[in-house]
Amino acid sequence: MAKTSVRHAKNPSLVALGEAIRRVRVRSEASQEGLALAAELDRSYVGGIERGEVNVALVNIVKLAAALELSVEALMKEAGL
User: For the chain, which residues make up each domain, given as ranges?
Assistant: 12-79
Mean pLDDT of 25-48: 97
pLDDT at 3: 64
pLDDT value of position 6: 63
Closest CA to 21 of 2, 3, 40, 48: 48
**CATH number for the domain whose boundaries are 12-79:** 1.10.260.40
- The fraction of the chain above a pLDDT of 90, given in percent, is 88
Work out the percent of the chain whose per-residue pLDDT is above 70: 90
Q: What is the mean pLDDT of residues 12-31?
A: 97
pTM confidence score: 0.89
- CA-to-CA dists, residue 5 to 8, 15, 30, 53, 76, angstroms: 5, 12, 26, 6, 21
